[in-house]
Structure 1
């Protein structure tokens, strides 16, 4: 889906969104008549320090200016792996962007990621996965790490990882597998306009408790994460009381 098609279906009542070198920032009218901050990345653009700071500033500037949701539209490459970006501390810029989105959510600005194209690695983590809820358009192509990269990191032959990917979602990139792990809350259908699906999501928005682990357990893609996280939280609370 192109950005123009996405915006037309999401915001039939109009929007004021500007794109500059792959970074989009603006506002849009929602189905209930209220306004939302809209930002993100388009055209498979990588996210470097320049892009990350522009997006983070838009989020931070908006926190005390209203109560509407923040929609993060994502069609990116990975993080920009250039010498300049690395020397300037790209990891800190990406972390700042992710924390800005989390802070906005906790301050009453519900954050929704809408993955409509490609995204990978640090760019995916700092945008789509930093929102309270991530939905995807059919055909989206997310990958936290592709199998060749995973093979280099784990030192396991790619054939072994390909075999594991057939039965274990955490070893496999792709939209279906990310949905099974709970990282993708829902995949929107193509028989209903996106503005109606967005309106339904906003009307039934999950609370700020991270449900990715629970969804992964329900869907069979990540069966242990929720229970382990609960044990860690319980141990932490017990230690604090002691």
Structure 2
């Protein structure tokens, strides 16, 4: 689905979302009549210092001025691979954006990520994976790290990584693998109204918590994360 298709299906009652050089900013009207803050990255734009500042600034302003849920639409490249961005401390700007989204969620602004295109690496971590719930649309193509980059980091051959990717979701890009790891909470259908699916999710949001580690164990994608997190929690409580 194109961005226009997604927005039309999500908000049949209208929206004021603008695309400014790949940065999405605006709001939309829900069927309940309430307003939803909408932001994100479009057109497979790389997420750099400037984009992260604009997005985080919009979220911070909205915390002071309004209420209601926040939707983060994602179709990005990875983080911007430029000398300028790295020298300015891109990692800190991406971290700031992620923390701002988490802060909003903890302060009465439920956050939902909608991955409708591509995303990878730091851009995915700072947007969709920083929301309480990440939803995917069929055809979305996320990757925490592509296999050629993973080969450089791990020093494993492409043949070895491709073989591991067949049985281990952690090594494999793609929506289904991120869903199996628990990173993607659920996958919506693009053949029925996205507005209906959004309203159903919003109705459940008070009870929905970040259960990525538990979902990963239940789905067989990450078998140890939930157990290790629980052990760390128990040890911390004992020390306290």
Report TM bin, short chain.
over 0.9
Per the alignment, residue 84 of structure 2 pairs with 84
Q: In the TM superposition, what whole-angstrom CA distance separates every residue of 1:87-109 from its partner, at most 9, and x where no partner exists?
A: 11111100000000000000010
Aligned partners of 2:51, 2:193: CA distance in 1, in Å? 30
Match for residue 230 of structure 2? 230
User: Corresponding residue for 2:95?
Assistant: 95
> Who is 2:125 aligned against?
125
Counterparts of 2:28 and 2:180 in 1: how far apart (Å)?
31
Q: Secondary structure at the match of 1:16?
A: coil
- Give the structure 2 partner of residue 106 of structure 1: 106
What SS does structure 1 have at the residue aligned with 2:205? coil
Between 1:227-236 and 1:204-213, the stretch displaced more is: 204-213
Structure 1 gaps of 5+ residues are none
Partners of 1:45 and 1:233 in 2: how far apart? 38
Structure 1 residue 191: Cα displacement? 3.2
Q: How does 1:82-231 map to 2 (within 5 A)?
A: 82-205=82-205, 207=207, 209-231=209-231
Aligned length: 240
Per-residue CA deviation, residues 201-220 of structure 1 (Å, 9 max, x unaligned), is 00011647420000001111
Q: Any unmatched runs of 5+ in structure 2?
A: none
The 1:207–1:86 alpha-carbon spacing in structure 2 relative to 1, beyond 3 Å, is farther
Structure 2 match to 1:6: 6
Q: TM-score, normalised by structure 2?
A: 0.98
Distance 2:62 2:118 in 1: 26
Q: 1:147 Cα deviation (Å)?
A: 0.9
The CA distance in 2 between the partners of 1:19 and 1:209, in whole Å, is: 30
Contact kept, 8 Å, 1:31 with 1:196, in 2: the verdict is no
CA distance in 1, matches of 2:66, 2:74: 23
Q: Report the secondary structure of 1:64's partner residue.
A: helix
The RMSD of aligned alpha carbons is 1.0
Q: Any residues of structure 2 matched to 1:36-47 within 5 Å, and which?
A: 36-47=36-47
Report the secondary structure of 2:74's partner residue.
strand
